[in-house]
Amino acid sequence: MIAVIQRVLNSSVTIDGSVCGECEKGLMILLGVAKGDTEQDARLLATKIAKLRIFCDENGKMNLSVKDVSGQALVVSQFTLLANYKKGNRPDYFGAAEPSVAIPLYEYFVELMRAEIGHVETGRFGADMQVNILNDGPVTIVMDSNALK
């Protein structure tokens, strides 16, 4: 499972002209589910992300987590994070899990994040979405659950 984590002032996702998910100060998480991922991958990522100290304390040091600042999160599925771009100029996505596997793992990850931080909204799996992100910093981290095992 791969996550792109961005510290944001706000973020929203729009589908067919209507906002379907948004968050204020907190995290924008783009989540890609790979073939072979399990609930363990979701747990590892959710736990690490919720405790990731990337928010500034009173001294301007990145010493606080999204939990510490009572932040929110917006989680959007993104299979393109699993792109294979080694050959040619058109990436393939054969490394992404099939929807029958990816959807339950994505939903499980969202449940875990809600248990950790409370306010978590989402996009819609498989939809054509427009994502608005106001990065704060910017702070962007790419996290792979395989590196946490």
Tell me how crowded residue 93 is: count the other CB atoms within 10 A of its CB: 12
Query: Which is the catalytic residue, given 47, 80, 122, 140?
Result: 80
User: What is the distance of C-alpha 32 from the center of its chain?
Assistant: 8
CA distance 99 to 55: 33
The torsion defined by the Cα of 137, 143, 79 and 102, in degrees rounded to 10, comes to -130
For 102, how many CA atoms within 13 A lie in the half-sphere containing its CB?
23
Residues 6+ apart with CB under 8 A from 68: 53, 55
Known catalytic membership, residue 122: no
The catalytic residue positions are: 80
